[in-house]
Amino acid sequence: MRSSFPGKRFRKWLSTAFCLATFVAGHASMNGPDASDASLTASKVFAEAPLEVLDMLRPSTRLDMLDYYTQADSIFVATNALGGESRLLEVAPDYLKAEITPVSTLEIKILKTGNKETVMTLFTTGGEGQARDTEVRFFDSALRPLDGGKLLKAPVLTDFFNLKGSDVSEEDLREKVPYAAVEYTTGPGDEPLTAALTTLSVISKEDRDLLTPLMVKTKSAPWKNKYIF
């Protein structure tokens, strides 16, 4: 479930900033049918997203961020289009994490399936009294969008709770937690995809105190050609 934020320009950007479909079409047409044979890196995906897709950070700024990260002793703090600060938090050949604003992060992960590559992006927003929530998207090695439902079997609300032996029924749970905001995170190499339910941070204290002891803090799934929770 996507979170909403105040500010007309910010809301517009959040809805489009990492919509890579435009980038995907352009990249595929430029590189042709053999693009799937080229090895991708997370840095390349981050650097080449066009300005109309990632207008918070100019391409030259993104390249500066990457250069400083790999060559300098300190992390480069870039000024984004809102006048705020953006920075790279972690960079590996198959993984990149960037803080775009204080309330939004982007993770890019290159996943291997035999000799094929799949690109996963995690765009997480949240803060200022709103639960952190992640939009998960997948692309093939030519950066064409894939059906995420075939690559991620996401956990449902009841997966995050041990209700057996408690006085809370599934119906009670759904009434107290009307929607499931889930933050996904990952990392380089064989790091699994981890899911954490964040909705409890914004429900009433009474319900939070009741449900917290029953909650599973995180759930993880390894990449085996798909993620299954």
Q: What pLDDT score was predicted for residue 71? A: 85
Q: Distance (Å, rounded) from C-alpha 142 to C-alpha 154?
A: 25
The sign of the CA dihedral 123, 126, 131, 132 is positive
Q: How do residues 174-193 score in pLDDT, each as one tens digit?
A: 999 999 999 999 999 999 99
pLDDT surpasses 70 at 44 = yes
Q: Domain residue spans in the chain?
A: 8-228
Quick check: 65 pLDDT over 90? yes
Residue 15 has pLDDT above 70, yes or no: no
Mean of pLDDT values over 111-120:
92
CA–CA gap between residue 165 and residue 4 (Å, rounded): 36
- The answer to whether residues 42 and 49 touch, using CB atoms and an 8 Å cutoff, is no
143 compared with 99, residue with greater pLDDT? 99
Q: How confident is the model at residue 29 (pLDDT cuts 50, 70, 90)?
A: very low
Distance (Å) of CA 204 to CA 41, 177, 214, 228: 43, 10, 16, 31
Q: Which two tokens stand for residue 202?
A: 């914004």
User: For 224, which DSSP code?
Assistant: S
Question: Looking at the predicted structure, is the pLDDT value of residue 56 above 50?
Answer: yes
More confident residue, 49 or 173: 173
